[in-house]
Amino acid sequence: MTSDARPARPSTPTEIRERLTDAVRDGLPAAIADLSRLVRIPSVSWDGFDPRHVQESAETVAALLTDLGVFDTVTIERAPLPGSGELGQPAVLARREPRGGRPTVMLYAHHDVQPPGEEGDWQSPPFEPTLRGDRLYARGAADDKAGVLAHVAAIRALLEVQGSDPDLGLVVFIEGEEEFGSRSFEAMLAAHRELLAADVIVVADSDNWTTTTPSLTIGLRGNTAFQLNVSTLGHASHSGMLGGAAPDAMLALVRVLASLHDDDGAVAVEGLTSHTQEVPPFTEVRLREDAALLEGVSSIGRGEILHRLWAQPAITVTGIDAPSVQNASNTLLPSVTVKISCRVAPGQSAREAFMAIERHIRARTPFGAHVTFSAVDLGNPFLVDTSGWAVDDVLTAMEEAWGETPQLTGVGGSIPFIAQLAQTFPEAQVLVTGVEDPETRAHSPNESLHLGVFHRAILTEALLLARLDGAVSLP
């Protein structure tokens, strides 16, 4: 055999596993290089940022998928935003039809990223991938361009080992506006339902228990976000002349916000529910480290820490419109607006949660202050059905790739589109995996990807695809 001759196609499950392991390892430098090239594109999907970067990112992803040579179609698509004639950000869709009765798997990730924030908060430029130790630092390095490349690299490994014509059906859906609320997601699903239809859906947009122990996410909190305006006066008035008799809007607002939690910091809104869920041990020390609690600051809420994070509601004021300290005058504020985010426990709809919070606020607004609600954004929670055969397949693939028993975990954050996927494709099994770890700092300055986690995530997916293709059977 000549030095450049390809080895024969493996014939046993053990040989396939070994060859896939080698292919993923050997292909890792190319995957990191492709990821770095994608990360350099500042594809922020938010209004106010250049949409040409998101388009460039979509074109780069489409080229990566086309180069695989396995898809029947690869297209860049945009769908209308609700309530307007405008189009959302570009998504990349690809499909290969199944053969021989094999299932079809959808591989989801997103190529848009969060804004970088203040560049001075970064130890290296946010859109210049920088390797420090075993972590690659950049905005989007983990969330979620690593998810995109995990799909690409896993397919590459599968094709290298199994040949260019697998029986497995493949769908790839790389969204372009997940970080901006997936505003056109529902319209995209409606327009391309047949193309996207699959038996198994892999969402590579979550995290892992540690850098050495994988996780399968089985529960996600939903999100209810809105703006609350509180008004008490028709115009600003002199605080010395009328203060003490005329109520200012900030006083009313503070009273309202204080009513949302009890003395322990637990949510005190009647009608918001919790989910019954067993959770693994999680220490107060780890919480303090992960959240960077200042010395002397205590945690809030009651119950096991992970139950608070995964299965109980949480309410946070994330923004406020009021005069800055520098520009403050001695006046009674006539009106104040805040943005409120409520994480909704699995088992309760986001709509029901919003109605409970609205009732609570209206009933507890003091002094007859006027309140209005606007910019309401609802995303439902999600629970994975762990009884499906695909769950067994992915857990086995994780254990083979990581050498550790995977954890079944919840996530306190929200990925609302997963509930939409499950609603659109009710027969599909949804698997929520990811390339992140507790040190990733997604959305924050100095976001990073652990390259060992990236390697093992690719191998997990390659082994899973081989199982779904029928090449590797369950033990």
- C-alpha 90/C-alpha 57 separation (Å) is 9
Q: Is residue 408 helix, strand or coil?
A: strand
- C-alpha 289/C-alpha 291 separation (Å) is 6
Q: Please report, to the nearest 10 degrees, the dihedral formed by the alpha carbons of residues 172, 181, 453, 212 taken in order.
A: -130
Residue type at 53 in one-letter notation: H
Q: Indicate which residues carry an active-site annotation.
A: 112, 178
* Tokens coding 196: 């996207």
Which residues, in sequence order, are CB contacts of 420 under 8 Å at separation 6+? Answer: 182, 185, 186, 189
Q: Is residue 80 helix, strand or coil?
A: strand
* Tokens coding 157: 């490994």
- What residues form DSSP beta bridges with 169? 104
Max Cα separation, the chain? 96
- C-alpha 366/C-alpha 335 separation (Å) is 14
Q: Considering Cα of 107, then 112, then 117, then 120, what sign does the dihedral take?
A: positive
> Is it true that the peptide bond before 144 is cis, omega within 30 degrees of 0?
yes
Residue type at 241 in one-letter notation: M
Q: Any idea what DSSP says for residue 322?
A: S
Which ranges of 259-410 would DSSP assign to H, the alpha helix? 284-291, 305-310, 350-364, 389-402
Cα of first residue to Cα of last residue in the chain, in angstroms, is 33
